[in-house]
Amino acid sequence: MSEQPKFKWIGTRPIRPDGVDKVTGRAQFGADRLPAGCLQGRVLRSPHAHARIVRIDTSRALTLDGVKAVITGADLPDLSDEAGGEGPTDFYDLSRNVLARDKALYHGHAVAAVAATTATLAEQALGLIEVEYEALPHVLDVLEAMDPGAPVLHDTLRTKGVEPKPEQPSNVASRFSLERGDLDAGFAAADVVVEGEFRTETVHQGYIEPHAAVAEVGEDDRATIWVCTQGPFMVRNYTARVLDLPLGSIKVIPSEIGGGFGGKTTVYVAPLALALARKAGRPVRAVMTREEVFRATGPAPGSVLRVKIGATRDGKLTAGHAWLAYEAGAFPGSPVNAGCMTILAPYAFENFLIEGYDVVVNKPKTAAYRAPGAPMAAYAAESLMDELAEKLAIDPIELRLANAAREGVHSTYGPRFRTIGLEETLEQARSHPHWKAPLGKNEGRGIAVGFWFNGGMNSSAAVHLNEDGTATVVAGTPDIGGSRASLALMCAEELDLDPDRIRPIIADTETIGYNDSTGGSRVTFATGMAVIEATREVVGQLKERAAKIFDVEPDQVEWREGAAHPANGATGTHEPLTLEALAQQAGRTGGPISAESTLTARGVGPGFAAHIVDVVVDPETGKVDVTRYTTIQDAGKAVHPSYVEGQMQGGAVQGIGWALNEEYVYDERGELQNAGFLDYRMPVALDVPMIDTVIVEVPNPRHPHGVRGVGEVPIVPPLPAIANAIHSATGLRLRHAPMSPPRVLAALEEASG
């Protein structure tokens, strides 16, 4: 393990640069913009889970005074030649998710949209649109949807990844597999085998800000979209594709974003707002209601997993077999592949077979949700690891340590691990006072680990030096949880300048080079890398300017303590030149000083976390209360520790909600019954204790500041950690999440006969 580099600014906790705007209400979010003459956009949604759209008549709506535009699927380009695309985004499907064509595929599927002078009129107009539906049988459950007799959502869908290629359509969009070694031999070598079937229900990201977009079009047909999104460049590309417009004719300005967790990595209302604005010749603001957010934006999939793990008597894992089926929602594209890649990843396995099925059902198309696909996979695998430890009478931390992935281990998903911190994380868990603290009545303790790859991808960033020696950092990755602070700190470290003198901004699509979306825990890692590169380029320019003034060679100038110093045998006596002095003279020494760096970030550092949780199970009601929670996570390097802790705490509490309460509830007609915060109950402050954090720092040697990325791992361990704690409290293995009072009570009653 390499020595931790010495930092001056990295690891400090300055006030975030956008903080004052966000505590005073000045920060502008998606719905906060309202240009003069702006129309209100509203969307008509399918009342059916699955129906053929026979006819849509918008004429009555258009007669209503104040209604300026109505659009239906017929107004959007067909994109038939894009059908079945192999790329990460299928624009044929995306277009049909944005606005249904011949079929509505879920309760809430957009069918038409209206722009009117007031919200009241727009709402009224929706009621005047006549849609004739022919209801079709629907299917909601992943296993039922895989059944050969199930209602088929897409007549053209043929399962990918199986030989021979099926001739009949089905709801199974693809099969993915990972395999190594000899599975039979592996299980034959096992002294103990544990196995089980696990289920999780559909859950939502639950960001507090509903999707919102404001579209304006000029007389030259150039468009501007103001939108809350994790990816302004994604919105530009997706909107251009869905509306068949030149990408360069659209400018996207990212507003502040009120949470996303992966759910704002695609488009819903932005293309509709723009299509309406183009039709009406007026700006259009389209804001979803909370009900629409639940009914029609990406939840995380429900899943079924069948997993089997074998080990020798002394606790060495010999084989793993995992079968995963994830609900994609109405169009293919669940994160089942990531589920497959993560499910056994924390451990060294020589023999395994992992197969995953992506299955369409009549629910909204799933979207990314924090470590997409991994929490349900961990639920199964880490519950079984706990059971294995129990059967082998080995401490669960020791069992994990004995098999833990470490440098050189060939991961189950492909590459060999380089420097990773799973062992360090588990060792911190073992020595944490929580692990040995006494438990009360009906109280139990569980532990589980989680893994996430972390992301790299494309980022651009610029650093401008201002005339007074302050600096501006320009990034194109929306700040969803404090990344302005981490980017400013990284720039500060390289310039050796107080971060308070650095203003980071999030730019629009015309102000900075291309950026992939904020997601995959990649911003501090990848955009940070671009900021560091750009800052180093600026430092290079500063040294050149100083060399001119000193009348020495550039390599005879050293940058430290925010100033250029003569070095390497530079002759003569020169006072150091401060950043401020060099900035003031820039116009006379070669012009303004700035640099932009663009990169495809390589060298991601995988992240691991271990969570310890105590729960009390009420034997009368089955209610599970979390009484103590500790998260331990390898951050690589915590650039701004407060916001690293915040990711750890927030992810843990989202995981607690997923584990204990949250689920989509459908009726027999396939209608979502709990599309609101009252009935889709996310944790409130009273539901959770303080979330203790331990940041482990095993630097990522392939990042200049050692960064790994921290946003996603924290949601991976909570489901199994809580399941294991419930087992510790009750002796029961809960294998269906959420482990809500009715399910826990039923299990308690079944156990007591």
Partner 1 sequence: MSGRKLHVSFSVNGEPTELLCEPQQTLLDVLRDELRLTGTKEGCATGDCGACSVTLDGTLVCSCLVLAPEVDGSEVGTVEGMAVHSEPGNPKLHPLQRKFLEHAALQCGICTPGFLVAAGSLLEHNSDPSEAEVRYWLSGNLCRCTGYDKIVRAVLDTAAELREAT
Query: Which residues of this protein are in contact with partner 1, per CB under 8 A?
Result: 13, 15-16, 18-20, 22-29, 31-32, 34, 118-121, 124, 205-210, 256-261, 287, 289-290, 480-482, 640, 642-643, 645-647, 649-654, 676-678, 682-686, 688, 690-691
CA 286 to centroid of chain Cα atoms = 23
Nearer to partner 1, 266 or 654 (CB): 654
Nearest distance in Å: CB 260, partner 1: 8
User: Whole-angstrom Cα distance, residue 356 to residue 490?
Assistant: 40
Q: Which two tokens stand for residue 24?
A: 């005073």
Q: Would you say 235 and 225 are in contact if contact means Cβ atoms under 8 Å apart?
A: yes
Nearest-approach distance from CB 371 to partner 1, in angstroms:
15
Q: Exposed, middle or buried, 744 (CB in 10 Å: 0-12/13-18/19+)?
A: buried
Cα-based angle 729, 734, 736 (whole degrees, multiple of 5):
150
Backbone angles phi, psi at 483, to 5 degrees: -70, -25
- Asked whether 710 and 607 are in contact (CB, 8 A), the reply is yes
**Among residues 250 and 675, whose Cβ is nearest to partner 1?**
675
Closest distance to partner 1 from the beta carbon of 200 (Å): 19
Q: CB of 120: closest distance to partner 1 in angstroms?
A: 5
Which residue, 118 or 600, is less far from partner 1 as judged by CB? Answer: 118
Torsion angle, alpha carbons of 565, 568, 571, 573, to 10: 30
Q: Is 309 helix (H, G, I), strand (E, B) or coil?
A: strand
Contact 647, 711 (CB under 8 A): yes
Neighbour count for residue 642 (Cβ, 10 Å)? 14
Shortest Cβ 648–partner 1 spacing (Å): 8
Nearest to 193 by CA among 96, 318, 335: 318
DSSP state of 239: H
Q: Which CB, 298 or 320, lies closer to partner 1?
A: 298
CB of 206 to partner 1, least distance (A): 5
**Cβ neighbours of 74 (radius 10 Å):** 11
Nearer to partner 1, 51 or 713 (CB): 713
Residue 261 or 550 with smaller CB distance to partner 1: 261
- How far, in Å, CA of 29 to CA of 35, rounded? 14
**Residue 419: CB minimum distance to partner 1, A:** 28
Q: Which is nearer to partner 1, 318 or 633 (CB)?
A: 633
Q: Which is nearer to partner 1, 481 or 513 (CB)?
A: 481
In angstroms, rounded to a whole number, what is the distance separating the alpha carbons of residues 82 and 91? 6
Residue 462 in tokens:
């610029």
User: Which residue in the block uniquely carries the two structure tokens 């893994």?
Assistant: 451
CB of 259 to partner 1, least distance (A): 5
β-pair partners for 132: 55
Asked if 322 and 380 count as a contact pair (C-beta separation under 8 A), the reply is yes
The partner residues of 531 in beta bridges, in order of sequence, read none
> Which lies closer to partner 1 via its Cβ, residue 393 or residue 686?
686
Question: Could you tell me the smallest distance in angstroms from the CB atom of residue 614 to partner 1?
Answer: 16
Q: Nearer Cβ to partner 1, position 116 or 217?
A: 116
Inter-residue contact 364 to 335 (CB < 8 Å): no
**Nearest to partner 1 of 72, 633 (CB atom):** 633
Report the C-alpha gap between 267 and 236 in whole angstroms.
10
Helix (H, G, I), strand (E, B) or coil at 675: coil
What are the respective helix, strand and coil percentages of the chain, to the nearest 5? Answer: 30, 25, 40
Cβ(724)–Cβ(603) below 8 Å: no
Cα–Cα distance for residue pair 111/124, rounded to 1 Å: 16
- Shortest gap between Cβ of 334 and partner 1 (angstroms)? 22
Nearer to partner 1, 29 or 417 (CB): 29
Cβ-based nearer residue to partner 1, 196 or 689? 689
CA distance 134 to 638: 55
Contacts by 438-442, CB closer than 8 A, 24 or more apart: 439/614, 439/728, 440/616, 440/627, 441/616, 442/616, 442/617, 442/618, 442/619, 442/729, 442/730
Q: Would you say 24 or 752 has its CB closer to partner 1?
A: 24
Least CB distance from residue 303 to partner 1, whole Å?
Answer: 22
Closest CA to 377 of 265, 301, 264, 294: 301
Q: Which residue has the tokens 């590309």?
A: 237
- Beta carbon of residue 55, minimum distance to partner 1 (angstroms, whole number): 26
- Would you say 25 or 218 has its CB closer to partner 1? 25
Closest approach, Cβ 205 to partner 1, in A, equals 8
Q: At its nearest, how many Å lie between partner 1 and the CB of residue 431?
A: 22
Q: Is residue 398 within 8 Å of residue 435, measured between CB atoms?
A: no
**Least distance from partner 1 to the Cβ atom of residue 664, Å:** 17
